[in-house]
Chains A and B, each alone.
Chain A
Amino acid sequence: MYKTTTLLGETFSFHSLKEIMAKANEERSGDELAGISAGSMKERMAAKQVLADLTLSEIRNYPLLSPDEDNVSALIENQLEAAVYEIIKNWTVAELREYILSDQHVSDDLLTLSQGLSSEMIAATAKIMSNLDLIQAASKIEVQTTCQTTIGQKGILASRAQPNHPSDNIKGMRASLYEALSYGIGDAVIGINPVIDTTDNIYALLHETKNVINEWSIPTQNCVLSHVTSQMRAIEKGAPADLIFQSLAGTEAGNDSFGISLSMLDEATALIKEKGTAAGPNRWYFETGQGSELSSEAHFGIDQVTLEARCYGLARHYKPFIVNTVVGFIGPEYLYNSKQVLRAGLEDHFMGKMHGLPMGVDVCYTNHMDADQNDMDNLSMLLGTAGVNFMIGVPMADDCMLNYQSLSYHDIATVRQVLGQTPAPLFALWLEEQGITQNGRFTSKAGDPTIFMNLT
């Protein structure tokens, strides 16, 4: 593909779709590190203008990474619903953006449209959308999923309790989890990042999270976020798991560096269906995040927004219960500052929803990134208005195991209150039964983790 355009008296030429896609991105350090970003604001705008005029069939006919060479490309290509694609193939990317944003097209229209869109087409649209476009479009799309409970309804903001402990201490995990529950956090999942990735430890953590769920009849699901193979070994041994977890990359080589293959994911799908403890049908928890393919040198010169979209193309094949972009975790060489993290969070959420996925976001940053907790306050409110399915909470926003900052339990409760959103329906009822809320408002018990200590 060769395209040329004249903008403000200057002529810009692009030699491939890959180049147009990369240069049309809003500025981010990862694209600069990869050496593929636009050289100037004008060149960036020229790339956006050229991209807006491309048709969807052009995007399909010029694969960035051939389906013959990459199984994620092949999966995305094979998923495409021909009947839908035939109707839209002559649309330009500009027309696709306007269809998505039009008041006439509601959630069901967009989810139908989604079936005819490849991940690259969705990424292309995101590149010519403003932050408010990304919020408006995503807010229209309602994606409900069911594992033990159902989340994703309009007006519901669910949450993951992330009660990590630096040495996987069971009592320490419980203490942090009690704190979460007392703030109404944990309706999407109670999910632990383990320090020790052994079968016995995964087994113990799955048991303990399930014990808390059973002791207090909590309508939620449990998960331990280790490598999928160690979860499979624990589940084979009889560990109770509602969800099975894995991080995904947008290329076959990227997944290879994560130590996973499609057949491994297929195997895990069958295992959790057979031996998992949830009714389903949605039993996967996937995590993604811009930049992981570049960090494992598995990016093929493709920009990190497009690669992130391809993660969603892979994820949707497995009909997950939740998908989470860990947006600010990877570090400043991929997303340098709060402006870049905020943009990426909104892009990822929109692109995931446009794939029909139940998107959540870990609103987070590391200490070597040019960002602070005020930036997370901002992003959490923006994602709340965009209708994010869930967010992640840790005590006072400080994850004492992973050494980064996310949202606090307080923060998620605050977003819910300010935006008039509620926890998942069954979980909200449970909070009323426990006396933590009354008519949806915190009682004096809220914020007191000791109410879950067995004092008899």
Chain B
Amino acid sequence: MLANSKRDPLETLKQFTPARIGVGRTGTRPLTKDVLQFRTDHAAAVDSVYGTVPDKILSEFNLFSVTTQVESMEHYLKRPDHGRLLADDAKAFLQKNCLQAPEVQVVVSDGLSAKAIEENLSDVYPALIDSLESYNLQIGTSFFVKGGRVACMDEIGEILKPKALVLLIGERPGLMSAESMSAYMCYQPGKGKKESDRMVISNIHKRGTPPIEAAAHIGTLIDKMLQQQTSGVHLIV
């Protein structure tokens, strides 16, 4: 069933899956190049978890930085609940420096992959702003949250009261891509919001969902949320 090609049969098989097949062996062990490639891909994934987003990227878009209650990467990994809560000084800072109750608030966070932000923000962020502006939406003061989890949206929602919020956050890296970003969206985020109230566009990177396409899609969804005044499983798309 799989052999309708005159090409090398192994190449035929390999084209059907991104899985690491047809690698061969010496004894029962894989060949050296495949072992080292695998370990290299793992190294890239680990580095993106433990990396930091360069200040240059953040200043390019005038994003100031606040922190969560997380104090180190180990702390972040062990206490997801602390990554959902902003540091005490962050709350006052946001109240002082951000537009209150905008139609759309955009937040960026490193999450589990600083590399995802480093690689994708320059493409996604301006396109997202363009997309939101094309719907004539009022955009709040964007900022960066270091050590954020997805549900930090709720506390930000309580502080700034936006109608809708977009969180661009680094995903848990895989070996295929260590630089994949997600966009989480919620209508009127705040205490008591459930996962089913949020919407997500995941796998945003150059070989996944293209950044520009993702930005356009986010704009469309946000516009629908504001029209229908809901999000998540309740939104009709």
Contacts and interface: CB of A to CB of B under 8 A. Distances in A.
Interface of A: 29, 32-33, 163-166, 169, 171-176, 178-179, 183, 331-333, 336, 366-368, 372-373, 394-398, 400, 403-405, 408, 410, 413-414, 417, 442, 446-450, 453-455
A333 B78 contact: yes
> Which A-B residue pairs are the 4 nearest by beta carbons?
A403-B174, A396-B20, A172-B17, A367-B45
B19 A394 contact: yes
Interface centre among B1, B112, B176, by most chain A C-beta atoms within 10 angstroms, is: B1
Contact of B30 (A171, A332, A396, A450): A396
Contact of B21 (A169, A175, A336): A175
A398 B20 CA distance: 7
B19 A176 contact: yes
B3 interface: yes
A423 to B, nearest CB: 13
A183 B30 CA distance: 11
B140 interface: no
Interface string B80-122: 1100000000000000000000000000000010000000000
Contacts of A336: 74, 77-78
Contacts of B79: 33, 333
Contacts of A448: 10
A167 to B, nearest CB: 10
17 contacts: A164-B19, A172-B19, A175-B16, A176-B21, A178-B21, A179-B19, A332-B78, A367-B42, A395-B21, A396-B19, A400-B17, A404-B174, A414-B29, A446-B25, A448-B10, A453-B13, A454-B1
Interface in B33-56: 34, 38-39, 41-42, 45-46, 49
B236 interface: no
A453 B14 CA distance: 12
Contacts of B77: 331-333, 336, 368
B224 interface: no
A193 to B, nearest CB: 13
Contacts, number: 140
Contacts of B172: 366-368, 403
B2 A410 contact: no
Nearest to A295: B80
Nearest to A29: B78
B202 to A, nearest CB: 11
A398 B42 CA distance: 10
Contacts of A163: 19
B contact patch SS: loop
Contacts of B74: 336
A413 B78 contact: no
Contacts of A414: 27-29
A156 B143 CA distance: 57
Given A332-B78, A396-B23, A413 B2 contact: no
B30 A410 contact: yes
Interface in B132-186: 172-176, 178
Contacts of B17: 165, 169, 171-173, 175-176, 400
B9 interface: yes
Given A175-B13, A178-B13, A332-B77, A447 B25 contact: yes
Contacts of B27: 414, 417, 442
Given A33-B79, A172-B18, 4 more contacts: A171-B1, A175-B16, A178-B13, A447-B25
B16 to A, nearest CB: 4
B70 to A, nearest CB: 12
B192 interface: no
A421 to B, nearest CB: 12
A373 B16 CA distance: 26
A36 to B, nearest CB: 14
Contact of B175 (A33, A367, A447): A367
B62 to A, nearest CB: 30
